[in-house]
Amino acid sequence: MSSSDAAPTLPEVRLRDLRPAVSPVEVVARIVTADRREVTRRSDGSRRPLVSGLLSDGTATVRFTWWDPPREGLDRGAVLRAVGAEVREFRGRSELVFTWKTRIGPASGAELPAVDGDDVPQRPVRDLRAGDEGFRLEVRVVRVASRSVSVGEERRVVYDGLLADRSGPIAFSAWSDFRLGVGEAVRLAGGYVRTFRGRPQLVLDERTVVTRIDGAELPDPAELLRSPPRSIAEVEDEGGGVALAVEGIVVGLLPPSGLVYRCPTCGRSVTSGICRVHGQVEGQPDLRARLVLDDGTGAVTVNVARAETERLWGITLEEARARLRDLPDPSLLEEQLFESVFGRRLRVRGSGTKDDFGVTVFPESVERVDLDLDATADDLTARLGPGA
């Protein structure tokens, strides 16, 4: 084949530089969202599949439409290379369209364009939304901890924590060890935002650029971790939050609480030895308490894990299993847990999410609050006014 017959080389374009005048193009991008559906052809009434969603490469986030996609699902977070993608404009913004002419295949995250912090705008934390990419942050590290997770057959270490600027906090998850230390001020470029438990979460990967800065204007971590409790009504109005604190009386206990069994693979609760993801499993015993906390303005559900449940109940997992052997009805164990916590006043700190059933708090700490009856009586008298 002569050089004149060779297929033309398409330009590889960053998403922020997409223009309908330059089309088709080659792009490398990460799938942020992908929704599969079918549309009806006007010509013959047949159904045609398509996938639409958002792509990001660190410089911008754009919409895409993929006609006649493969049958297998598209994983969010996967990186792909598309050669021959059409660029179109919709409502003043560039979009990508993958047709039968587009060659699409997997790519490595290392192939995504390098992000220079000076090339992207600085954003406050409070303005971040799921799907955002192509920004930089200047934040303080409030909390960070590592955990081991399974990715396929591989074990990887993920670093989770909390970052904050003066506009507010945001949870983060880092897939590389940036050696972040509590209290450090850093400039971040190259992360992206996803939704986790209904809240925005910042994801840092191998392309993220981390620079230590002075950050004198950034908040002290202790300001967030020692913030005073807020009313539950306010937390409900804001749809939950991170680094929140609420205080109230335990008025209920939701099932399943007490002694539960979890899937050894995913940690979900199992019923009759069945995990809804992994099927028949050998459940691992655990303790939990799903407390209903009320402060007079509203109520939240607090999902308390084993360590705090043992402390609040006053018995260990082993002791609970021993009690179960002597009980004719396993539900009596849950009743014993409820009797031990009912009416207690607790202060809970952690993150909260809101769904159709209200706000659920995932606590990082649970403290018992002893009431000062004299002070409470004086406060009530002051509220009712003279002559009460």
CB 188 within 8 Å of CB 213: no
Angle at 36 between CA 33 and CA 40, to 5 degrees: 140
pLDDT score for 234: 93
Name residue, tokens 């790519």.
107
Q: Sort strands 61-67 and 47-56 into parallel, antiparallel or unpaired.
A: antiparallel
Q: What is the pLDDT of residue 348?
A: 95
Question: What pLDDT does 379 receive?
Answer: 63
Q: pLDDT tens for residues 345-360?
A: 999 998 888 888 889 9
Residues of the chain where predicted confidence (pLDDT) is lower than 50: 1-7
Residue 155: what pLDDT? 76
What pLDDT shows up at residue 160?
92
> Which distant-in-sequence residues (6+ apart) come within 8 Å of 129 by Cβ?
193, 200
Domains and CATH numbers, the chain: 3-111 (2.40.50.140), 117-220 (2.40.50.140), 227-374 (2.40.50.140)
Measured CA to CA, the distance from residue 383 to residue 378 in angstroms comes to 9
Whether the full predicted model's pTM is greater than 0.85, yes or no, is no
Q: How far apart are CA 31 and CA 66, in angstroms?
A: 12
Taking alpha carbons only, the member of 364, 368, 363, 372 closest to residue 347 is 368
